[in-house]
Each structure stands twice: as C-alpha cells, then as structure tokens.
Amino acid sequence: QGAFGWNNGNLLPPYEAGARGYLDWNGIINPMAAAIKTAWAVTTVSETYLYELHQNSLGLESLFRDEWRKQWGIINGIDAHVWDPETDPMIQHRLQKGNIKDFKARNKAVLCEWFGFSPDLPLISFIGRLVGEKGVDLLPDTYRRSIYNGVQANYLVLGTGEPWTQNQFRALAHQFQGRINAVIDYNEALSHQIYAGSDFLIMPSRVEPCGLNQMYAMRYGTIPIVRAIGGLKDTVPDIAEPGGTGRGIRFDQFSVEDAAHAIYRAASMWHLEPGIVALLRERIMAVDFSWERTISKYREVYQKVGADISPLPLPETLAKTAVQPEAKKARVMPKPAAKKAPPKSTEDKGTATDKTKPAPRRKASPKPPPGKPAPAVKKKRTGKASTPEEKPPVTGPAPNPAEKKKK
C-alpha cells in the first residue's frame, strides 16, 4: 500500500492543505487509500477478488465497503493468437478439423512417452511457480492420499520455486515412478504441450486475483480443478451447478481432504463418464477469454464515469512512424523477376572501366553483376529480410524432459 508515517510527510511534493484528509488513513500516509478515495473508478481483475478485498485487505476493508459504488471486477484476457490449438507451433499435434478427441489423445500420448505414464489413466498436471501463494505445498500430501486411496490417475508437475517444495516433488517422482513425475524448470514450450496433452489442470491457490493458467488449459480442452477463490471461482463454474454452465471441478477449503476429493471426482468422471468429459471439452474450448472481450468491459466502465473513449488522432510524427513498416512492405512486395540485360551493355560497361583499373569479372561482391538493375534499386528489392514483418521461426518443444532429467 506504500504507507509511511507523517514524520516523513515533508518528502511529499507540495499539496493543498485540504488534501491532507485524502492522504491520511489510520493516522499514517497511505497512497493506496488516497487513490481509492479520489478515483472515479476502481477495478480489480475479478469480481470475487473484489469481494475478498471487502473481507480482507490489510486494513482497508471498511474503505472498500464504503466506496463500493465505483468498483468493478473485470477478468483479464489471454492472447488467443498465442494460445491457439489450431496454430500453436510449440505443440506436437495441432487441432485439425475440430477433432478434439484425436487432438487430445495424440498430445497425451506424447507426454506419456516422455514421462513414462500409462495413457489408460487420466493425467492431472500442475504448471506454475512452486510457492505458497499458489498452494502447491498442498499437493504432495494430496497426491499421496489419492494414490493410497486407490484413485487411478497420474500426476505431472512443471515449475520452479521454493527449494523445499522442489525437493518434495523430486522425492515423490522417485517414490511413485510411473505415477508422478516432475520437471523442476521453466519451459514455455513444454507448458504448451502439457496444456494440450493433459486431461486436467489443478490449481489449489491460496490467493488468485485472476489466474490465467485455467484459461490456457480450457483453450486446449484441459478441464480445470481449482480452489473456489478469486478469478478461479469466476471463470470455472463447477460441473455440478445447475444450468449446464459448468467448466470444471471446484473445492472450497484449502485442505488435503477437499483437494483429494476434487481429484477423486475428476478421475471418476474420466473413467465412468467419457461422454460427459467429451462434451465438457467442447464447451470449455468454445469460451471466449480474448482481450477483446475484456477491453469491451473496461470501455463500459470508462463510459459510466463520463470518460471520452473516442480514438485520439496520432501526432504527425507518430503517424509517420506507424505507417513506415507498411510503406516498406509495399516497396518490396511483390518482388519482380530479374531482367536479362542485352550483351552490348556488358561490353559498354567494360570499356568504361578500362580508363581506370579493369574490374574483375564475375567476382563475388555485394555489387550486382553487369547488366543488372542499379545498386540503389537492388538494395531496396533485397531489403525484405530486414523488414519489421519478418520474424524468427519459433522452435518446438525442447527434447524429452524426462531424458534430460535422467542425465
């Protein structure tokens, strides 16, 4: 909150005496409280997280409740072009012709081969930071209990974080070979493959204002298992709720019992009700989590507070910069075929250079051979490789992480 005592108030820039009441909260200077008091609108990244701030916000609870009329909770968006199962270059098998069943089966087979799992059991994965905020310390005992209770499922973990937690997952992978595996690493390409090939993604967070991983998972047909807090609660209605709007499985309490029961529900559904799993995958892959949807929500807020949201014209200098790449593209595309020069032009050029030192013929040089277009024009034509539109190729997943670990 950036709070500090009034004894350091002289460090503030000059302000009107009447503004002291805005700066003060519980006898100290609190910039966060001042911002909430004076803002036209206050937004958080989910409605449930906004409600949670009313219950626990480290001393600002009453202020949040008093200013409720100007508060909105808006879920973040994801880049639907990056997280696209039809075009994702980081996964082994892309979604083709809407065949979700084949898409999931083939990508799961890749993970099972890499990590020594049986494809006949549901694969439940965790991706993220191995820290207390994400609730990942709940998982070791949850996985043990599930295995000892006979729940037929496999577990995969990807992430880095607190050393104690990392060692816990290494020990689990050693103890339950073929059932649990862990990659203690940050690997973007592998995370895409796990989203594509897993059956479920578990997120037992202690706090989660919005959460993005559950959205990535649903984009790839992976059913989320989440704790009912913050943005997880808003984006993942439970499949048991009436109305046919469920998207996953939720549990309320931060406890091994609740988390293990959620895993039991997921595994039972996978084994006993494959038709429901297939319908659920279709439903969650159709949900719009794009930034366009999120931006429209923010536009509504700005309109409600009377803000002018009409597009501003670009300054002249910025406008020129903005059209520069398009202008370059127009000059180099399409690239014309090289014209053949008449033989005489070669001879004429040769006699012209005889007055000084004869130029070597057909010697490798950045200059064009005789009879070709002038150098200035040629440079424009061959500048295509340096245009802003060109991007380096994106590589696929890293080599088999399981093999890397064995080494």
pLDDT string in tens for the chain (407-residue length): 888 999 988 888 998 888 888 999 999 999 999 999 999 999 999 999 999 999 999 999 999 999 999 999 999 999 999 999 999 999 999 999 999 999 999 999 999 999 999 999 999 999 999 999 999 999 999 999 999 999 999 999 999 999 999 999 999 999 999 999 999 999 999 999 999 999 999 999 999 999 999 999 999 999 999 999 999 999 999 999 988 899 999 999 999 999 999 999 999 999 999 999 999 999 999 999 999 999 999 999 999 999 888 887 777 766 666 554 444 444 434 444 444 555 554 444 444 444 444 444 554 444 444 444 444 444 444 444 444 444 444 444 444 544 444 44
> What is residue 121's predicted lDDT score, i.e. its pLDDT?
99
> What is residue 317's predicted lDDT score, i.e. its pLDDT?
63
Cα–Cα distance for residue pair 228/235, rounded to 1 Å = 10
> What is residue 318's predicted lDDT score, i.e. its pLDDT?
61
Identify the DSSP state of 18: G
CA angle (286 as vertex; 283, 287 as ends), nearest 5: 95
The pairing of beta strand 123-127 with beta strand 200-203: parallel
In angstroms, what CA-CA distances link 374 with 99, 331, 368?
53, 16, 8
Q: Are 397 and 90 in contact (CB under 8 A)?
A: yes
Identify the DSSP state of 356: S
> What is residue 392's predicted lDDT score, i.e. its pLDDT?
44
Domains of the chain: 6-73 (no CATH), 100-289 (3.40.50.2000)
> What is residue 178's predicted lDDT score, i.e. its pLDDT?
97
Nearest to 260 by CA among 132, 126, 159, 147: 147
What's phi and psi for 178, nearest 5 deg? 90, -10
